[in-house]
A = this chain, B = another copy of it.
Amino acid sequence: MTLRILPVTGIGEVGAGDDLAALVHGAAPDLAAGDVVVVTSKIVSKAEGRLVAVPAAGPDRDRARAAAVRAESTDVVAVRGGTRIVRTRHGFVLNGAGIDASNVPPGRLALLPRDPDASARALRAALRDRYARRVAVIVSDTAGRAWRIGQTDLALGCAGLPPLRDHRGETDPYGNPLTVTQIAVADELAAAAELVKGKCAGVPVAVVRGYPLTGDEPDGPGVAALLRARSEDMFAEGVAEAYARGHRDGRAGRPESPGG
Interface pair A180/B195, CB less than 8 Å apart? no
What is the bound-complex CA distance between A2 and B163, given in angstroms?
A: 24
Q: Which of A26-34, A119-127, A244-252 contacts B (4 or more CB under 8 A)?
A: A244-252
Whole-angstrom distance from the CB of A167 to the nearest CB of chain B?
5
How many chain A residues touch B (CB < 8 A): the figure is 90
Q: Which residue of B lies closest to A184 (CB)?
A: B150
Interface pair A184/B151, CB less than 8 Å apart? yes
Query: Provided the pairs A179-B100, A182-B150, A258-B243 are in contact, do residues A191 and B187 lie with their beta carbons within 8 angstroms?
Result: yes
Interface pair A188/B177, CB less than 8 Å apart? no
Interface pair A243/B246, CB less than 8 Å apart? yes
CB-CB < 8 A to A80: which residues of B?
234
Assess whether A242 is interfacial by the CB under 8 Å rule.
yes
Assess whether A238 is interfacial by the CB under 8 Å rule.
yes
What is the bound-complex CA distance between A246 and B245, given in angstroms?
A: 7
Cross-interface CB contact of A243 among B180, B191, B192, B243, cutoff 8 Å: B243
CB-CB < 8 A to A240: which residues of B?
234, 242, 258
Interface pair A148/B152, CB less than 8 Å apart? no
CB-CB < 8 A to A69: which residues of B?
none
Interface pair B101/A176, CB less than 8 Å apart? yes
Interface pair A146/B147, CB less than 8 Å apart? yes
Interface pair B145/A173, CB less than 8 Å apart? no
Interface pair A195/B196, CB less than 8 Å apart? no
Q: Which of A15-23, A131-139, A222-230 contacts B (4 or more CB under 8 A)?
A: A222-230
CB-CB < 8 A to A184: which residues of B?
145, 148-152
Assess whether A106 is interfacial by the CB under 8 Å rule.
yes
Whole-angstrom distance from the CB of A13 to the nearest CB of chain B?
8
Assess whether A236 is interfacial by the CB under 8 Å rule.
yes
CB-CB < 8 A to A256: which residues of B?
243-244, 247
Whole-angstrom distance from the CB of A14 to the nearest CB of chain B?
12
Q: Considering the complex, which residues of chain A in the window 58-98 have a beta carbon less than 8 Å from any beta carbon of chain B?
A: 78, 80, 83, 85, 92-93
Interface pair A149/B227, CB less than 8 Å apart? yes
Which residues of A are at the interface with B, using a C-beta cutoff of 8 A? 1-7, 78, 80, 83, 85, 92-93, 100-106, 142, 145-154, 163-165, 167, 170, 172-185, 187-189, 191-192, 194-196, 198-200, 202, 211, 225-228, 233-240, 242-253, 256, 258-259
